[in-house]
């Protein structure tokens, strides 16, 4: 891919005013673009649902941190094998208290610490 093409996609994916349908299209490109889409506040719940099962843990981590991610997806991500994804869930202010409480008992110390420090348990 040409550098200018990547740069254009990158800029659009990171623009908080990009329409959800454009972000959906961008979610089909490489992991760096998908990562930016996962963080964007305008990304639709449907696109976030798809990205929650991305093979790249960084993309899933950013879905976990997006305040527009549906609660059922956050709950699923609280079981992710990657601790950074679980930390993202514990830090998301929209995560239901039951999910944060579950993460406060996670097998990983850092996940437990983040859940407890969220002030919600």
pTM for the structure as a whole: 0.93
Q: What percent of the chain has pLDDT over 90?
A: 94
Q: How confident is the model at residue 3 (pLDDT cuts 50, 70, 90)?
A: low
Strands (E), 32-116: none
Q: What is the per-residue DSSP string for 38-71?
A: HH-TT--HHHHHHHTT-SSHHHHHHHHH-TTS-H
Residue 121 has pLDDT above 90, yes or no: no
Instruction: Please determine, for residue 7, whether its predicted confidence score (pLDDT) is greater than 90.
Output: yes
pLDDT at 1: 46
23-59 pLDDT, tens digit per residue, is 999 999 999 999 999 999 999 999 999 999 999 999 9
């Amino acid at each position: 891919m040409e550098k200018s093409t990547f740069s254009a996609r990158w800029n659009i994916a990171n623009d908080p005013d990009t329409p959800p349908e454009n972000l959906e299209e961008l979610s089909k490109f490489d992991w760096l673009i998908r990562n930016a889409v996962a963080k964007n506040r305008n990304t639709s719940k449907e696109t976030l649902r798809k990205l929650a099962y991305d093979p790249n843990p960084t993309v899933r981590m950013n879905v976990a941190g997006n305040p527009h991610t549906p609660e059922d997806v956050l709950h699923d991500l609280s079981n992710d094998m990657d601790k950074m994804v679980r930390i993202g869930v514990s830090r998301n202010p929209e995560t239901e208290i039951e999910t944060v409480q579950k993460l406060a008992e996670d097998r990983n110390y850092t996940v437990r610490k983040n859940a407890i420090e969220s002030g919600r348990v």
